[in-house]
Structure 1
Amino acid sequence: MKGKLALGASALTIGLLTLSVAHADSYQVTKLVPGSAFHGVHGLAVDKAGKLFAGSVAGAALYEVDRAAGTAKIAVPTPEGMADDIAIAPDGTMAWTAFLTGDLYARKGDGPIKKLASGLPGINSLAFRKDGRLYATQVFLGDALYEIDVEGAKPPRKIMEKMGGLNGFEFGPDDKLYGPLWFKGQIVKVDVDKGELSVVADGFKVPAAANFDSKGNLWALDTALGQLVKIDPKTGAKQIAAQLKPALDNLAIDASDRIFVSNMADNGIQEVDPATGAAKQVIIGKLAFPGGIGVVSDGGKDTIYIADVFAYRTVDGASGEVREVARMHADGTTLEYPMSATAKGDEVILSSWFTGTVQTIDRKTGQSRDMLHGFKAPYDAIRLGDGKLLVAELGTKSLVEVSGEHGKDRKAIATDLAGPVGLVLGKDNAVYVSEAFAGQISKIDPATGAKTVVAKDLKMPEGIALAPSGKLIVAEVGAKRVVEVDPASGSVTEIAGNLPIGLVGAPGLPPTNMPTGVGVGAGGTIYVSSDIENAIYKIEKK
C-alpha cells in the first residue's frame, strides 16, 4: 500500500493482520550520506580509444568511467556484467571474469555478449597475448591458470595450479605473463607455453596486480600497504612510487602511461603520476557498499555503525560525517567483508554471509575482540540478555545460540525459518526475526525456541530494529519501503515509501543479497541503508 492511496487513519483488515498507512506528510526523508557509482570497484582496463572501464563483483556490473566528469555509467548490467577483472584484446574485444558465478564473458564493440567459459568459481584475472590468445586464473575459490578458447567452443586448458593466487596479471614485452602471487608476497613471471614459473620480485605484503607501461617498466600494487611499486623486471629492484590507502585492487595504464588504480574501500579510482607519485581522485564514494547498520545514542547524539562490505565505518546522525574505523586488507586489520551490523552498549557485532563470520568489536576503541568462523551464511547477530550470541543462519534456516570460548558451543534454538535475515531483541526479551522468504516477522522465545508469527504478507522484510516505543521498524525491501510493526497487535504501518533499497543480486547469490539495514536512535529517528545508491537515509517525524 502506498501512502498516497490512504489518508488519515485509514486501515484495511485481512484476517488477523491489520495494514495501515501513516499520513503522507508525517515523516521527512532526507539523504544523510550521498551515494556513489560502484558497489566496490575491482578490475580496470583502458581501451584503444582511451575509455576507462571498471568492474564490480558485488554490484554485478561493468562500468564506463568518465574521467573528466568523475562519473560512471553501466556498460554491461547484471547478471553478465559482474567483473572482477577486464582485459582488452588486440582487435578491441573486451573480456571479463564473473568471480562468483565462475563465468568468463567477451564482447566486441556493441556486439552480442559471448560466454567463453563457465564452471570456474573464483575466476579472477585475465589477459590477452599479443596474438589474441586469452589466459585466466582462479583465485580464492580456486588456484589455477588456464588458456581460454576465445571462441568458447573448447573447454579451458589448465596450464598450472597451486601457484599461490596469481592475481591481476599482464603479458610483458618478452611474451611472458607477469603477475602477483597474493598468498606468497611475490611478483612472478610465467612461461605459459612451458608451464614454468619464476620469481621476479619478493617482499610484498599482499601484492594484488602488476602491469607494464610503454617503456617496459613493471608496476605493481601492494593492497595491504597501499603502495604503488615500480619494479625492474630484469633485476627485481623495487621502488615505492606512490603511497596510497590500503584495499587497492587493480591498475590499468593507458597509452600515455597514466596509471589508474582502483580501491575497493574507497569505492573509487585514482590517477597516479608515475614520475611524481601524485595521485588525483577520478571518482570516489563516501561509502563502499553499505549493508546492515546499528545505532547507538550517546547524550542525545546518534551514531550509526555500518557494515560497509569493504570497510567498517560510522556516521554522525546529525551531520552525516563519515568516519572510517577499519578497511579490508589493510595491514594489521582484522575484518572480513562485513555485511551486517548491530550495536548496543560498548559492542558492535559484524557478520558476513560471504565469509561465514561473526565478529565482535569494542564500540569505543574500534578494536576487534573476537572473530568467529564456520557459520553458514550468517545474516545478522545480536547479544542476548544472558550474554550469549544469537546468529541468524540463512544457510541452515536457523537461529544459532553461541557461547563458550571463541564461540565454540553452538546450538540451533529455532529451525525451519524461511530466510532469517534480521534480528532484534524486544523489550520483552523475546527475539524478533524477519523471515524474508515467508514475508513475515516472527517472535522467538530464546529459552524454548517457540515461534509466533507477529506480522505476515510482507514483501521481503530484511533489516529490523526496535523503536523507543517498543514497536518494530522493518525494511520491507520487496515493497521498497520502511514500515512500523506493532508486536502486540501485528498492525503494519508504512512510514516511508519509494526508497532505493533492494539491489538485485546476480545468479547464484542469495535472493536477499546485501541486507538492507535499519536503525533507530533514542529520539525515534530512523536510519536506512540504501544498497542501490550506497547511501544512508534519515527518516524523522515532522
Structure 2
Amino acid sequence: MKRLWGSNGIAFGPDGRLYVAQFLAGQISAVDVATGDVEVVVPQGGPVQSPDDLAFGSDGSMYITDLVPGWVWRRSPAGEYSLVSDQVAVPNGIATVGDRLFVNEMKLDGRVLELFPDGGDPRVLADGLMMGNAMQLGPDGCLYYPHMLTGQVFRVPLDGGAPELVAENVHEPVAVRFDRGGVLMVLSRGDAGFVTRIDLAGGERTIVRSGVLGLDNAAFDNENRMFVSSFASGGIAELHPDGRTRQIVAQSRVGPYGVAVSGGRVHVADHYTLVNGDKREMFVFVHGVAAADGFLHTASQYGDVRTYDLADGSVRMRASGLNRPVGLAVREDGVLVVAEAGAGRVVAVDGDDAVTVLAEGLACPVDVAFDGDTGYVSDEERGAVLRLDDGSPVVEGLSAPQGLAIRDGEVLVVETGERRLLAINPPTGETRVEADNLAVGLPPGVTRTDPALFTHGMPGVPRPFAGLAVEPDGTLHICANAEGGVLRLSPVDGRQTSGSVVDEG
C-alpha cells in the first residue's frame, strides 16, 4: 500500500488527479481519488525543497510555494521548472485566478502578494497577516484568507482596497475553501478536525467535527465532493457533510523520528504529534522520545525537553533553549541524557531539571544509549559510535549512524547512509549486519540541503532521524522515515531478524 508520508496543500490538476504537496518529504504526489493510487510527480532531490501548497494556472502549469527557502516555482506542463519569485518570506497559501497568481506569507506581519511569472516586482494586496495559509477566490471576486493566530478570516479585492474582516472567533483556521456552490468552508488545524461552514449572506455558522487531526487543506471535485489533507497524520480523506470520513489514501507517520517501547506499547515522536500506541496527540515538533517508569520523555526541534505522565496526561518542562536536541535516554539513576546535535554536546538533565554537560566537541551527536553505567553516542557527521565517558570510538567509518539501542551487551545502530542495522561488540569493535535494505534516510542518490533550523521564526525542515528501540524479548522497532512507518524486526534463528511494518498511522 502506497502512503503519502505527510500531506499539505492539495489541488485537482488538469488530468483530474488530486495533487498533494508534501512539506516534510520534499516532494509532490498525484492521487487518483477513485483508486487511491499514488504517483510521485515532483520527486525529492530536485529544485523544490519544501513544497507546502500548490495551484494550477489556466495553461496547466503548476505553481508551488517552497516554504523554507522562500521560493515560488512554476512547473510547466512539460515538467520544466522556473523560479517565479525569491522575494516572499515563508510563502504558503497560493491561488490562481485565470492567468494571475497570488501568494501569502505564513509569518507575523505577513503579506498577501500578487506575483508576475513573466517578470516584475510583487504587488502587495494586504499586510499585517498573523500567519497566512491556504486561500481562495470567493464568488464575489475577492480573495479570502485566514489569520491563523487570531482566529479570523479576511477578504481583499484583487485590484486593491482595504482588507475586510469576514469572520472572527473561528477555531484555529488553517485553510479557506469554497465548495462548488460558493459556500465558505474554514478548516481548523487542531486535534478535533473542525470544519466551519459560513453563510456569507447571513453569517450563520455550522461546525462539523471530522476527527481528522491537524487538517491542512481541502479541494472539491466536479461532483462537489470534499477531500482533505492533514499535516499531522498524512493521507487523503473524503469528508462528508455530516463529518464522516472515507480514507482515500491511508494515514501514515509524517516522519517518523524517535521511537520507544514500554508496557507493550510503541511510542513514536512524529514531529507534529506524539503517538502512544493507538493514541495520537498534538505535540510541538517532537523528534526524540524515551520511556521509563510510566513517563515519556521528549525532545523537540524548538530545543525543549519535556516529561509526559502517561497516567494523568500532565507535561513538565525539563529543559529549554537547547540547540536541536534529538535522541535521549534514561540513565539507571533516572537522569535524562540528551544528544544535543546543534551544539555538538551530550547533556544530562537531573531530577531538579539542572542541565550539565557530559560530552562536548562532537560533530553531530544524534542519539544515546546506556548499558548499565556505560553510555554510547552516535555521531552522524563523524560516522562513529563513541563511548560517552572518554569519547573513544567503538566503531568508525560508518555512513550517517543514527538510532542506538542495547541488546544483550551489543550496541545496535541504524546506519542510515547504508540503510542497514548493525550490531557492534563494544570490547572488540566487531560489527555484524542484522538487517539491510531498510526504509530509512533519503533514497539512494538523493541529497537535500540542510536548511536553517528556523526561518522568520518558523521551523525549517528537520534532518531525518531513524530512531531505534528494543523490547525485552529482543524485538526491535525502527523508524522507517523513508516510507512513513515503524518497522518491527522480530528475532529469528538467533540474531537474524524478520521485519514487518507495524505502525503506519
Equivalent residue letter for 1:507: T
Aligned to 1:32: none
Aligned to 1:150: 117
TM-fit CA distance, 1:227: 1.6
Looking at structure 2, the residues matched to 184 and 48 of structure 1 have their Cα atoms a distance apart, in angstroms, of 35
Kept in 1: contact 2:4–2:252 (CA 8 A): no
Q: Does 1:522 align with 2:462?
A: no
Instruction: Render the CA deviation track for 1:415-455: whole Å, top value 9, x for unaligned.
Output: 2212111111222x23211001111001112xxxx322211
SS in 2 for 1:280: strand
Counting only pairs closer than 5 Å after superposition, residues 79-478 of structure 1 correspond to structure 2 as 79-81=46-48, 82-118=50-86, 120-130=88-98, 132-140=99-107, 143-151=110-118, 153-194=119-160, 196-224=162-190, 225-241=192-208, 243-274=210-241, 276-296=242-262, 298=263, 302-315=264-277, 323-326=278-281, 328=282, 335-353=283-301, 355-370=302-317, 372-403=319-350, 407=353, 409-427=354-372, 429-445=373-389, 450-467=390-407, 469-478=408-417
Aligned to 2:484: 534
Equivalent residue letter for 1:139: M
Kept in 1: contact 2:419–2:437 (CA 8 A): yes
User: Structure 1 residues 506, 444: CA separation in 2 closer, same or farther (over 3 Å shift)?
Assistant: same
SS in 1 for 2:417: helix
TM-fit CA distance, 1:241: 4.4
TM-fit CA distance, 1:192: 4.7
TM-fit CA distance, 1:242: 5.2
TM-fit CA distance, 1:378: 1.3
TM-fit CA distance, 1:158: 4.0
Q: Does 1:52 align with 2:18?
A: yes
Looking at structure 1, the residues matched to 147 and 128 of structure 2 have their Cα atoms a distance apart, in angstroms, of 10
TM-score where L is the length of structure 2? 0.88
Looking at structure 2, the residues matched to 474 and 498 of structure 1 have their Cα atoms a distance apart, in angstroms, of 14
Kept in 1: contact 2:126–2:156 (CA 8 A): no
Equivalent residue letter for 1:383: V
Q: Does 1:494 align with 2:422?
A: no
Looking at structure 2, the residues matched to 313 and 404 of structure 1 have their Cα atoms a distance apart, in angstroms, of 25
User: Structure 1 residues 239, 416: CA separation in 2 closer, same or farther (over 3 Å shift)?
Assistant: same
User: Structure 1 residues 277, 380: CA separation in 2 closer, same or farther (over 3 Å shift)?
Assistant: closer
Looking at structure 2, the residues matched to 148 and 55 of structure 1 have their Cα atoms a distance apart, in angstroms, of 20
User: Structure 1 residues 137, 286: CA separation in 2 closer, same or farther (over 3 Å shift)?
Assistant: closer
SS in 2 for 1:379: strand
Equivalent residue letter for 1:109: P
SS in 2 for 1:163: strand
TM-fit CA distance, 1:69: 1.6
Looking at structure 2, the residues matched to 47 and 155 of structure 1 have their Cα atoms a distance apart, in angstroms, of 27
Equivalent residue letter for 1:136: V
> Percent same amino acid among aligned pairs?
27
Bigger shift: 389-398 or 430-439?
389-398
Equivalent residue letter for 1:272: L
Bigger shift: 195-204 or 492-501?
195-204
TM-fit CA distance, 1:364: 4.5
Aligned to 2:448: 506
SS in 1 for 2:342: coil
5+ long unaligned stretches in structure 1: 1-34, 316-322, 329-334
Q: Which has the higher contact order (CA 8 A, sep 6+)?
A: 1
TM-score where L is the length of structure 1? 0.82
Instruction: Render the CA deviation track for 1:169-228: whole Å, top value 9, x for unaligned.
Output: 011122211021110111211235435222111222201111122322111112223122
SS in 1 for 2:7: coil
SS in 1 for 2:175: strand
Aligned to 2:503: none
Kept in 2: contact 1:37–1:71 (CA 8 A): no
Aligned to 1:77: 43
Looking at structure 2, the residues matched to 512 and 278 of structure 1 have their Cα atoms a distance apart, in angstroms, of 33
Looking at structure 2, the residues matched to 142 and 412 of structure 1 have their Cα atoms a distance apart, in angstroms, of 39
Aligned to 1:480: 419
Report the RMSD for the aligned CA atoms in angstroms.
Answer: 2.4
Equivalent residue letter for 2:221: D
Equivalent residue letter for 2:97: R
The number of residue pairs the alignment matches comes to 478
Kept in 1: contact 2:22–2:28 (CA 8 A): yes
Looking at structure 2, the residues matched to 197 and 324 of structure 1 have their Cα atoms a distance apart, in angstroms, of 41
Instruction: Render the CA deviation track for 1:454-500: whole Å, top value 9, x for unaligned.
Output: 11111110000111x12111001111110111222222111111212
Equivalent residue letter for 1:399: V
Looking at structure 1, the residues matched to 428 and 66 of structure 2 have their Cα atoms a distance apart, in angstroms, of 46
Kept in 1: contact 2:3–2:252 (CA 8 A): no
Looking at structure 1, the residues matched to 82 and 223 of structure 2 have their Cα atoms a distance apart, in angstroms, of 31
